[in-house]
Amino acid sequence: MEILRVGETTRLKHTALEKLRVGESPRWRRSALAKVRVGESPRWRNSALKKLRVGEKSALEKLYAEETPRWSNSALEKLRAGETPCCIKSGLEKLRAGELRAGETPCWTNSALEKLRVEETPRWSNFALEKQRVGETPHWRNSALEKVRVGESPRWKIFALEKLRV
């Protein structure tokens, strides 16, 4: 063990404060205030006030100065300027704007009723009632009684029905 005399200190025994005084403190050990003093404060640590002092505008100021990129404008601003993107317009708006003619409405915007009228409805989405009208009711939708009538009912169901009749 090393005996230290008064006034002697080994390099390892220096406190962080002493190292700061002599400028030996590692960068990462310095406080935020010390870093600001020597100009080492990272950009993201600057406060809004400091940004204002050095002339960095906030998003709101950029909006007012019309420096905001086109993609960051709100939908409301685009509507005001008449720049509504096509994807936001409804089928009716497209028809009014002359972008679509009556027969050109995309299939996905037609209601189920409209699709039925123009016979675009896929077979699987027809209502059971409509399928019954044209005789297309799927096998699994037939009631037990209907199956018995057409002779499609399983044997055990027929027996149960016959037992009820007798």
> Could you read off the pLDDT of 31-80 as tens digits, one per residue?
666 666 666 655 555 566 666 666 666 666 666 666 555 555 566 676 66
Residue 139 belongs to some domain of the structure = yes
Give the separation between CA 68 and CA 10, rounded to whole angstroms.
58
Closest alpha carbon to 31 in 21, 20, 22, 23: 20
Q: What is the mean pLDDT of residues 118-143?
A: 57
**What percentage of the chain exceeds 90 in pLDDT?**
0
Residue 64 belongs to some domain of the structure = yes
How many folded domains does the chain comprise? 4
pLDDT, one tens digit per residue, over 132-142 is 666 655 555 55
Decide if pLDDT at 81 tops 60.
Answer: yes
Residue 78 belongs to some domain of the structure = yes
Does the CA dihedral 131-136-137-140 come out positive or negative?
Answer: negative
Q: Tell which wins on pLDDT, 124 or 143.
A: 143
3-state secondary structure 39-93: CCCCHHHCCHHHHHHCCCCCHHHHHHCCCCCHHHCCHHHHHHHCCCCHHHCCHHH
Question: Per the confidence metrics, is the pTM higher than 0.85?
Answer: no
Decide if pLDDT at 166 tops 60.
Answer: no
Tell me what the pLDDT averaged over the chain comes to.
61
Q: What is the mean pLDDT of residues 88-113?
A: 60
**What percentage of the chain exceeds 70 in pLDDT?**
0
Residue 1 belongs to some domain of the structure = no
Q: What is the pLDDT of residue 157?
A: 60
Q: What is the pLDDT of residue 45?
A: 56
Q: What is the pLDDT of residue 28?
A: 61
Residue 2 belongs to some domain of the structure = no
Residue 162 belongs to some domain of the structure = yes
Whether 138 and 164 map to the same domain: the answer is yes
pLDDT, one tens digit per residue, over 35-46 is 666 666 555 555
